[in-house]
Amino acid sequence: MRFKNRDVEKYEQQNNDHSEKDDGGSPKYAGFRDRIAHFTWPWFACTMSTGAIAVVLAQTPNRFTGLQTIGKIFYIVDIVLFVCFTSLITLRFILVPSKLPASLHHPVEGLFFGAFWVSISLIMNCMQSYGVPNTGPWLIKAIEVLFWIYCAVVLLVAIFQYYILFQEERLNVADAMPAWIFPIYPLLVVGPMAANFIGSQPHGAAYPMWVGAVMLQGVAWTVAL
């Protein structure tokens, strides 16, 4: 990829600024600050996969006794992992503030920023599957609000990330790779997410949700194609 070399070199230099070096230039040891500085967005691929398992188990048509419990276990594990990962990456940006913009501009790590948002969508899916049948109508309304917030945020994230990739980093189309779809991937899951939500929503909320999901899904498909 033809990224601005100075940006990549700056990012790599920041990764090595906090370790004490020996005479050969290799780090003598890696402290907590050094290790947390390398906690990156690709870690959220783990919460994507865990959340996806919980969603699949909730929607599997051929069911058996205990399947719902297994799905709930995966959902709880997913929430715990997501909270831990979010805390660690937040700590990374607090300890080394320059890491936040650097991570979004990095040619590999930046593409995985979408994994964070897809993880959120899967958690919301599980809220519908595991939470709504066991709670009151307040959760149905909360899911409606969260759905529209999610749609607005991931649309802005996709625009922002593609602007960085093609305007700031000056990517060459000839170097295109499958990972370039990741910034729009959070929008690709809006359709399936809305399909899961609509069944429990009142008509006044379900219809706008359906229209919005079709529009955003279409935008995502257009970019992906």
- Residue 218's identity, in one-letter code, is G
The residue-averaged pLDDT of 185-200 equals 92
- pLDDT at residue 195 in the model: 93
Q: Residue 175's closest CA among 3, 11, 23?
A: 3
- The pLDDT tens digits for 151-184 are 999 999 999 888 877 776 666 666 667 777 888 8
SS3 179: helix
Q: Is the pLDDT of residue 138 over 60?
A: yes
- pLDDT at residue 221 in the model: 86
Query: Can you give the residue ranges of every domain in the chain?
Result: 5-224
Q: Is the pLDDT of residue 5 over 50?
A: no
Share of the chain above pLDDT 90, in %: 52
- The pLDDT tens digits for 77-86 are 999 999 999 9
Residue 3: pLDDT band by 50, 70, 90 thresholds? very low
Torsion of CA 191, 192, 194, 197, to 10 degrees: 180
C-alpha span between 53 and 11 (Å, rounded): 34
- pLDDT at residue 6 in the model: 47
User: 27: which strand partners?
Assistant: 21
Q: Is the pLDDT of residue 117 over 80?
A: yes
- The pLDDT tens digits for 31-62 are 777 788 888 999 999 999 999 999 999 999 98
This prediction's pTM: 0.83
SS3 21: strand
Q: Is the pLDDT of residue 24 over 70?
A: no
